Amino acid sequence: MKDFYKLILAGSLVFFASLVWAGGKADSPQGGDKTAYTVGMTVQDLSNPVWAMTAEELNRLIAADGGRFIYVDCKSNAPTQITQLENFISSGVDLILIHAADGNAVEETLGRARAKGIKVISRDDDLVNTDLNWLGDNYARGRIIGQEAAKWINEKLGGTAEVGVLDYPSIQVLLERGNGIVDAIKEFAPNAKIVAQSSAINPVEGMAKTETFLQAHPNMKVIACIGGGAAVGANEAVKAMGKLTPDFGIFAIDATPEELAAIANNEAIRMTVMVIGDGVAFGRHHFFWIKKLLNNEPVERRQFTEGFPVNAENISQYYKK
């Protein structure tokens, strides 16, 4: 099962890599293209399904609009991301969309981009050298995950459970989300015990870490995740190890199609926090703001979004089999 899942992820990455080349690679811009505008995007990790879907949708929308889209990931490495930003600046992009690996590290480079007239959108980080910061309270989102996990513990497990947390503390916004998860579980299910905690952001990591969790803690019944990629991998591990029972629950955020399908099919994922939808919805949302900025329309520099839980009670509103 693990090898099969790795093949699926590898195939997806090859597909998305081909889209990057179709749009033009950041370190090798295609000269002579006649395009209305160029957008460069650098994110932490394109193996995260949400960002992969976002990139695919933005590639489609920008190409249809006569623009050119260059997108890369930095594997959560700030120096790599700074080099990518410098490549965007030297190649003359019109707008940069960034999901920063380290917000403080990229500020100076983004300032130089804006000095050259390049518009900048930041996702998640409230940066200074930007035209638009698209923000959410990640600690609050983490608390939603933790509260839903605690509710499950109290209703399905009598208030006691061994809990695993799949976090990602190397990224500040995900550190905040992980802290929200842990604090809410401790507050709302005080007799539960967090017995394992490890980093995972994509399905392969989520599957591997969950296997380790369950081998070390065979009585674990609850896993809370900072992202949908990790949750999807955790779900596969639970099924493959024969641990899927009516009282096993995985709780996460992102509302990817895989998460929603698992909820609808009564698998281990019991809840995911939806912000505006899946990666396609994120792509369309970003495109809306990209066009506003490129058209020099006035926008509020700080835009906030909220999240809400999707579970068995309301899954039919957001997923159709």
Q: Domain range for residue 294?
A: 2-131+279-305
Q: Are residues 176 and 288 in the same domain?
A: no
pLDDT per residue of the chain (321 residues) written in tens, 0 to 9 = 444 344 334 334 333 333 343 344 433 333 334 569 999 999 998 988 888 999 999 999 999 999 999 999 999 899 999 999 999 999 999 999 999 999 999 999 999 999 999 999 999 899 999 999 999 899 999 999 999 999 999 999 999 999 999 999 988 889 999 999 999 999 999 999 999 999 999 999 999 999 999 999 999 999 999 999 999 999 999 999 999 999 999 999 999 999 999 999 999 999 999 988 778 889 999 999 999 999 999 999 999 988 999 999 999 999 987
Q: Are residues 156 and 226 in the same domain?
A: yes
> How many CB atoms within 10 Å of residue 194?
17
Is residue 190 domain-resident? yes
Q: What is the DSSP string of 243-309?
A: ---TT-EEEEES--HHHHHHHHTT-SEEEEEESS-SHHHHHHHHHHHHHHHHTT----SEEE---EE
Q: Are residues 150 and 264 in the same domain?
A: yes
Distance CA 235, CA 164 (A): 13
Q: Are residues 105 and 51 in the same domain?
A: yes
Q: Are residues 108 and 168 in the same domain?
A: no
Q: Are residues 12 and 123 in the same domain?
A: yes
Residue 290 CB-density burial (10 A; 0-12 exposed, 13-18 middle, 19+ buried)? buried
Q: Are residues 297 and 226 in the same domain?
A: no
Domain count within the chain: 2
Q: What is the DSSP string of 92-135?
A: T-SEEEE--SSHHHHHHHHHHHHHTT-EEEEESS--SS-SEEEE
Q: What is the pTM of this model?
A: 0.76
Q: What is the CATH number of the domain that holds 38?
A: 3.40.50.2300
Is residue 311 domain-resident? no
